[in-house]
Amino acid sequence: MVVVGAGIAGLVAARRLTQRGIDTVVVEARDGVGGRLQNGELFDDVPIDVGGQWVGPGQHRVLALLSELGLQTFPTHVAGRHLAEIGGKRVTYTGRIPRLSPRILADLGQAQWRLDRTARRIAERTDPWRDREAQHLDGQTFASWVQRTARTADGRAFFRLATQALFSAEPEDLSALWALHYIGAGGGLDSLIETDGGAQQDRVVGGTVRIAEELAAQLGPRVVLGSPVTDIAWDPAAGPAEPTGVTVSGPGTRVHAERAVIALAPTLAGRLRYSPLLPTDRDQLTQRMPMGRVIKINVAYSEPFWRTAGFSGQANSDTRPMGTVFDNCLPGDDRGVLVGFLEGRHADAAARMEPEQRRRAVLDDLAGYFGEQARAPLAYLEKDWAAEEFSRGCYGAFGTPGTLTRFGPALRAAVGPLHWAGTETARRFPGYIDGAVESGERAAEEITAALG
């Protein structure tokens, strides 16, 4: 078999196939494995995550994989007071709930209750487009849904911030059905936005890319790097039961196999040339699932000065461009690291700035949260995922309105010898590493079943 893409989805699929004695090659465009998981160099000596970096409770597949691969996790630092700026008010708090006014808390409570109730119902079905409200929810933006559900301006501001943090998109961009499906499939809003007890709870020692590296090490020479794929050709004449195989090629690359797993985000998969052309449902789907947009920034200091001041390092704001910040210190290292995200429209604005101007804006925000010391970093490392040729955005793709109800089944439906993987296709935790693992396992199962 051949797998296109050495992100977690592709590597998991290849490993499972190989374990079953099925000869498999993985072809990867980048010079390294991991896809949206990547290490950067903030200090000369220590790698740090510049892509997806967290795992959390309920993400059983990735947790099992970490354990199987012998990789260690460590908790995100949460001790101290968190910071929140909502509706022009600055509060510090510990635990889950900022001390906002009772009126805002009541509004958030009822809106989140409605959101979670519907999101869980959608997640209980395997396919969100079969939900009884699917047409209604897919016909509106998440912004429209929030507008009707949250009754206060501050409540709506909270949902905008949460949308940016989860999707690196604006509530206006997303189908409400996609948003609810995604949140439900991740176990509800708290499960996704929380640190302790949620999807930001734990980090991987050495970086999450270690998962990909360990998988690749097991696959050895079966992983071929630096080989962008541009063309996928197969012969439909033989019929679906007996395909004559598929040829995957690019400049300097040509692999023939019985079946292929395309482990790429929908937009990237849509930019390959297929012969014969893909079914139109599948092509239309790939035209309508854009990537989110985020610039991730790690900033290093000689020490974690915010801890000394009693802060956890976790900060959120509905007005600052860098609306979400966490303590990102490295284990066994005395230096301080903060990580922040410019998401959605904030990424648009920041990407149009000169690097020096952007750095200043980021340090302004950090100083606003934690004080003037934030203006004198040891090191500064930014990663604009929309500018990555082989990602074109992060954290993941999202469904624009009408897409899931019109083309949802094409997300996973195999086409002749072509099987689709990637976190966007997952039933649980789509957009997360856990979803990527699920999708790779499913694609491998499809192929195993097809081989009889």
Point out which residues bind its own copies (CB under 8 A): 135, 138-141, 143-144, 169-173, 230, 267, 270-271, 273, 277, 280-281, 283-284, 287-288, 290-291, 293, 345, 348, 351-352, 384, 386-387, 389, 392-393, 400-403, 405-407
Task: Report whether 424 belongs to an annotated binding site.
Answer: yes
Distances (CA, A) of 276 to 231, 247, 273, 279, 324: 11, 12, 9, 9, 45
Query: Minimal distance in Å, beta carbon 117 to its own copies?
Result: 22
If the CB atoms of residues 59 and 403 are measured against its own copies, the closer one turns out to be: 403
If the CB atoms of residues 393 and 440 are measured against its own copies, the closer one turns out to be: 393
Task: Report whether 123 belongs to an annotated binding site.
Answer: no
C-alpha 424 chain-centroid distance: 9
Query: Minimal distance in Å, beta carbon 389 to its own copies?
Result: 6
Task: Report whether 205 belongs to an annotated binding site.
Answer: no
According to DSSP, the β-strands at 322-327 and 379-384 are: unpaired
Distances (CA, A) of 205 to 35, 71, 255: 18, 7, 35
C-alpha 210 chain-centroid distance: 17
Alpha helices in 140-208 (DSSP H): 142-149, 153-167, 176-185, 189-193
State how far the Cα of 208 lies from the Cα of 28, in Å rounded to an integer. Answer: 18
CB 70 within 8 A of CB 305: no
Largest CA distance in the chain: 69
Query: Minimal distance in Å, beta carbon 138 to its own copies?
Result: 6
Q: Is 413 helix (H, G, I), strand (E, B) or coil?
A: coil
Q: Is 320 helix (H, G, I), strand (E, B) or coil?
A: coil
State how far the Cα of 349 lies from the Cα of 261, in Å rounded to an integer. Answer: 36
Task: Report whether 374 belongs to an annotated binding site.
Answer: no
Closest CA to 411 of 185, 244, 187, 140: 185
Helix %, strand %, coil % for the chain, to 5?
40, 20, 40
Query: Minimal distance in Å, beta carbon 358 to its own copies?
Result: 13
List all residues 6 or more positions away from 319 whose beta carbon is below 8 Å from its beta carbon: 85, 88
Closest CA to 337 of 358, 366, 360: 366
**338: amino acid identity, one letter:** L
Task: Report whether 13 belongs to an annotated binding site.
Answer: no
CB 26 within 8 A of CB 13: no
If the CB atoms of residues 78 and 269 are measured against its own copies, the closer one turns out to be: 269
Query: Minimal distance in Å, beta carbon 310 to its own copies?
Result: 38
State how far the Cα of 138 lies from the Cα of 265, in Å rounded to an integer. Answer: 21
If the CB atoms of residues 94 and 135 are measured against its own copies, the closer one turns out to be: 135
If the CB atoms of residues 177 and 223 are measured against its own copies, the closer one turns out to be: 177
List all residues 6 or more positions away from 356 whose beta carbon is below 8 Å from its beta carbon: none
Query: Minimal distance in Å, beta carbon 403 to its own copies?
Result: 8
If the CB atoms of residues 311 and 407 are measured against its own copies, the closer one turns out to be: 407
First to last CA, the chain: 15
Query: Minimal distance in Å, beta carbon 288 to its own copies?
Result: 5
If the CB atoms of residues 295 and 300 are measured against its own copies, the closer one turns out to be: 295
State how far the Cα of 36 lies from the Cα of 15, in Å rounded to an integer. Answer: 19
If the CB atoms of residues 92 and 284 are measured against its own copies, the closer one turns out to be: 284
Query: Minimal distance in Å, beta carbon 348 to its own copies?
Result: 6
If the CB atoms of residues 163 and 208 are measured against its own copies, the closer one turns out to be: 163
Strand stretches in 207-335, DSSP E: 223-224, 231-234, 246-250, 253-257, 260-262, 273-275, 294-301, 311-317, 322-327
If the CB atoms of residues 28 and 138 are measured against its own copies, the closer one turns out to be: 138
Query: Minimal distance in Å, beta carbon 166 to its own copies?
Result: 16
Query: Minimal distance in Å, beta carbon 167 to its own copies?
Result: 11
Residues placed in the known binding site for FAD: 28-29, 229, 424
Annotated binding site: 28-29, 229, 341, 424
